């Protein structure tokens, strides 16, 4: 048995998001979000599930913080529901909504757990969506105003801020592929939305600096690792496009101040281009304190004309897949992290999401989710490799603390290290919780 030791002060954590766990969808003045509307629309979410109740975490702060304390994490990533703070997106501040997050943050600090706050994890106020949502540039300034409110309310209490969770999901998945709220299917709109999200990020970072806030701020894109099936030029180009749509499309503006030419050309072939105003790229390229990385899966890609949006097809290698159907591709974790450092320099990185979907149920009071342990073990080994190779890794937050509302999959897909019975809301730590507890306690991985 080998013991892989992680750096001293490595920050172990776990993560959730407001719409996925809170419930209390219409309590204490909370306004409607686009996910309330989407999940209440028949046919959009599996089994007609909604986030109306979810894990009821809005009413279970002490119970959930006790789980975090038992787990032994140093950091806890959660998100604030914009419609709880500004029910209409702007205008009147909803104090009861703000008070909920004060209670949560105070409980975390009392438990010696660092809050990691995501400002936007997809629950846009519906009132703003009705004025065009992220496709309307005015939403950018409403977001900065919402963020500034939280900065002023929590300065000194929350010292770790993430502006936007996964711009690719908010733009492409939600407004071109139409799989998530609000469900548009318009590539030009999706590219404009992606640009507006990056602008909202950049302007929020500027405001954070102007307010001389304590702490650090970053953004959390999802990344994918797609390698060419062969060294044939067409396979290399197809894999590059698949990676580029997810990775460079957002990372190049953030760190290089421009969109990747090869993807601009590809989208032009698809009939779309980004509308950039003169100051935009300088705003987007605001220096950040860390990069959050969400990694789940990867693939080998072969060129196939007309396949998907990028003339690329995942090759079926016979790899094990999780219960949501995603390839288990641990070496992609190492490859994407070392690639990030080669491409964008020595930026401090937190893994803000990594985890697996397995739908194990409670049997005799226990959940033997050994496949999740195997997934985490394989990925933490690759993470350790990346650190040994010089990647500036600051921490790791597994997705997720508990089973929760998995967007269009509803409650049919479980990512938690704590099982939730969605009838009774009883939480049951899984075997992976106990395994992760030991990794954290000893700051090491046994392989
Ligand atoms: O799907 C698992 C999690 C999800 O629960 C989080 O809210 C979200 O931040 C998240 N992002 C990914 C990776 N990107 C992705 C790709 C296709 C569909 C949905 C998410 C996985 N996850």
Ligand 1 atom closest to Cα of 404? 5
* Residue 433: CB atoms within 10 Å: 25
Q: Which residues pair with 14 in a beta bridge?
A: 76, 398
Catalytic residue (choose from 353, 361, 406, 446): 353
What pLDDT sits at residue 139? 98
Per-residue pLDDT band for 376 (boundaries 50, 70, 90) equals very high
Mean pLDDT for the chain overall: 98
Q: 353 CA distance to ligand 1 centroid (A)?
A: 9
Residue of minimum CA distance from atom 14 in ligand 1: 222
Task: Provide the pLDDT for residue 216.
Answer: 98
Residue 166 annotated among the catalytic residues of the structure: no
Tell me the pTM.
Answer: 0.98
What's the mean pLDDT in 162-173? 98
Give CB contacts under 8 A, 24+ apart, made by 385-390: 385/334, 386/333, 386/334, 386/337, 386/338, 387/6, 387/7, 389/334, 389/338, 390/341
Q: How far is CA 376 from the centre of its chain?
A: 17
Distance 58 CA to ligand 1 centre (A): 22
Domain 3-446 sits in CATH at 3.20.20.80
Domain-wise residue ranges, the chain: 3-446
CA 214 – CA 208 distance, rounded (Å): 9
DSSP 8-state assignment for residue 80: -
Query: What percent of the chain has pLDDT above 90?
Result: 100
Q: Tell which one of 38, 166, 219 to mutate to probe ligand 1, the residue whose CB is within 8 A of the most ligand atoms.
A: 166
Contact 42, 48 (CB under 8 A): yes
Q: What is the mean pLDDT of residues 296-313?
A: 97
Report the distance separating Cα 209 and Cα 248, nearest Å. 26
Q: Give the residue-averaged pLDDT of 328-348.
A: 98
Closest ligand 1 atom, residue 407 Cα: 5
399 CA from centroid of ligand 1 (Å): 9
Residue located nearest, by CA, to atom 5 of ligand 1:
406
d(CA 422, CA 90): 33
Label residue 62 exposed, middle or buried (CB < 10 Å: 0-12, 13-18, 19+): exposed
Taking only the tens place, the pLDDT of each residue in 38-82 is 999 999 999 999 999 999 999 999 999 999 999 999 999 999 999
Backbone dihedral angles phi then psi of residue 303, each to the nearest 5 degrees: -65, 135
Among 16, 294, 379, 404, residue to substitute to test ligand 1 (most atoms within 8 Å of Cβ): 294
For residues 26 and 39, give the distance between their C-alpha atoms in angstroms, rounded to a whole number: 14
354 C-alpha to ligand 1 centroid (Å): 9
Tell me what the mean pLDDT of segment 118-127 comes to. 99
Q: What is the pLDDT of residues 10-28, one digit of tens each?
A: 999 999 999 999 999 999 9
> pLDDT grade, residue 163 (50/70/90)?
very high
Q: What is the pLDDT of residues 77-105, one digit of tens each?
A: 999 999 999 999 999 999 999 999 999 99
CB-based contact 238:303 (threshold 8 Å): yes
Q: What pLDDT band is residue 29 in, cutting at 50, 70 and 90?
A: very high
The pLDDT score that the predictor gives to residue 192 is 98
């Amino acid at each position: 048995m080998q013991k892989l030791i992680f750096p001293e002060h490595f920050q172990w954590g776990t993560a959730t998001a407001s719409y996925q766990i809170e419930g209390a969808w219409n309590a204490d003045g909370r306004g409607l979000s686009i996910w309330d509307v989407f999940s209440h629309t028949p046919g959009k979410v599996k089994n007609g599930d909604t986030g109306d109740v979810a894990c009821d975490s809005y009413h279970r702060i002490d119970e959930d913080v006790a789980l975090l304390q038992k787990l032994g994490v140093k950091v806890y990533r959660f998100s604030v529901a914009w419609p709880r703070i500004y029910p209409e997106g702007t205008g009147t501040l909803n104090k009861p909504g703000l008070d909920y997050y004060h209670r949560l943050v105070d409980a975390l600090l009392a438990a010696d757990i660092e809050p990691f706050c995501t400002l936007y994890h997809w629950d846009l106020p519906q009132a703003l969506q009705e004025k065009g949502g992220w496709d309307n540039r005015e939403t950018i300034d409403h977001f900065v105003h919402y963020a500034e409110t939280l900065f002023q309310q929590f300065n000194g209490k929350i010292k770790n801020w993430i502006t936007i969770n996964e711009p690719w999901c908010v733009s492409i998945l939600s407004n071109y592929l139409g799989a998530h709220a609000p469900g548009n299917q318009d590539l030009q709109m999706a590219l404009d939305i992606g640009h507006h999200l990056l602008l909202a990020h950049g302007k929020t970072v500027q405001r954070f600096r102007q307010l001389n806030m304590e702490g650090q701020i970053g953004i959390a894109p999802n990344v994918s690792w797609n390698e060419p099936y062969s060294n044939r030029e067409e396979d290399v180009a197809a894999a590059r496009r698949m990676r580029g749509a997810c990775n460079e499309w957002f990372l190049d503006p953030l760190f290089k101040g421009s969109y990747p030419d090869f993807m601009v050309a590809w989208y032009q072939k698809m009939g779309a281009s980004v509308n950039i105003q003169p100051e935009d790229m300088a705003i987007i390229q605001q220096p950040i304190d860390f990069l959050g990385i969400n990694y789940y899966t990867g693939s080998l890609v072969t060129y196939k004309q007309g396949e998907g949006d990028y003339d690329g097809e995942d090759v079926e290698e016979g790899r094990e897949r999780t219960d949501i159907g995603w390839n288990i591709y641990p070496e992609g974790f190492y490859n994407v992290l070392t690639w990030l450092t080669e491409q964008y320099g020595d930026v401090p990185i937190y893994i803000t999401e990594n985890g697996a979907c397995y739908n194990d149920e409670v049997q005799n009071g226990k959940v033997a989710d050994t496949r999740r342990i195997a997934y985490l073990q394989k990925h933490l080994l690759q993470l350790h490799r990346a650190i040994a190779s010089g990647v500036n890794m600051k921490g790791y937050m597994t997705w997720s603390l508990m089973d929760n509302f998995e967007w269009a999959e509803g409650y049919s897909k479980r990512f938690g290290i704590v099982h939730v019975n969605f009838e009774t809301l009883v939480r049951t730590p899984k075997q992976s919780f106990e395994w992760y507890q030991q990794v954290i306690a000893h700051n090491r991985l046994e392989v």
